[in-house]
């Protein structure tokens, strides 16, 4: 009888472990529905701002509210999809003077860690590769919400922003005012649970 009870307990415990692992959900970022954005803001000579976005990107993330340490995100951006609403400027930014999109056609981000800083907030750490160089960055992020959608799926959405120094990625800004040496990167996305 004791052996049977122990076996039943072991099987149940194994089932709980499997169930717990199954709760860590994988999401695909919803770019088809235009519910995701990778945008930037940079000073223009210290007088105004240039705002723009990268319109072609993809990514996935894993999220488990009960095990935030297991959360992760991977994204890939097609650099040539940059759009600042000014064709001539876009061509210049994509040239070898700045992003050199022909030689470095993609930018990637792969998370390496996550630290909770409060309810629905935290800091994601990861490797950003841009202009052929990889640097570790930290990005404060916020869970905007999660739940069922009207089409029978389940979604979760996040936003985050950080400042990056362009020189850290080998982009030479010495001929421009100091205000232009940093860029604000803003990301917001909604993911569909797989």
* pLDDT(13) > 50: no
Q: What is the enclosing helix (H) or strand (E) of 126? A: strand 121-130
pTM confidence score: 0.85
Across the range 142-146, mean pLDDT stands at 95
* Average pLDDT of every residue of the chain: 89
For residue 191, give Cα distances in angstroms to 135, 138, 146.
Answer: 25, 21, 9
Annotate 52-93 with three-state secondary structure.
EEECCEEEEEEECCCCHHHCEEEEEEEHHHEECCCHHHHHHH
Contact, 45 vs 181, CB < 8 A? no
Instruction: List, for residues 78-121, the tens digit of each pLDDT value.
Output: 999 999 999 999 999 999 999 999 999 999 999 999 998 988 99
Model confidence at 18: pLDDT above 50 = no
């Amino acid at each position: 009888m004791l052996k049977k009870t122990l076996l039943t307990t072991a099987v149940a415990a194994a089932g709980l472990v499997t169930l717990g692992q199954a709760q860590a959900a994988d999401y695909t970022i919803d770019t088809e529905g235009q519910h995701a954005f990778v945008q930037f803001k940079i000073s223009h000579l210290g007088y105004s701002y240039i705002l723009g976005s990268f319109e072609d990107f993809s990514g996935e993330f894993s999220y488990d509210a009960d095990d935030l340490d297991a959360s992760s995100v991977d994204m890939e951006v097609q650099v040539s999809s940059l759009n600042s609403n000014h064709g001539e400027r876009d061509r210049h930014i994509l040239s070898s003077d700045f992003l050199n999109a022909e030689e470095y056609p993609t930018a990637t981000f792969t998370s390496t860690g996550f630290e909770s800083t409060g309810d629905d907030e935290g800091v994601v750490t990861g490797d950003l590769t841009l202009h052929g160089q990889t640097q570790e960055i930290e990005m404060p992020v916020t869970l905007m919400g999660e739940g069922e959608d009207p089409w029978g799926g389940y979604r979760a959405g996040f936003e985050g922003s950080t400042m990056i120094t362009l020189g850290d990625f080998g982009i030479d800004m010495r001929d421009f005012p100091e205000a232009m040496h940093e860029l604000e990167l803003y990301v917001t996305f909604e993911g569909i649970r797989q």
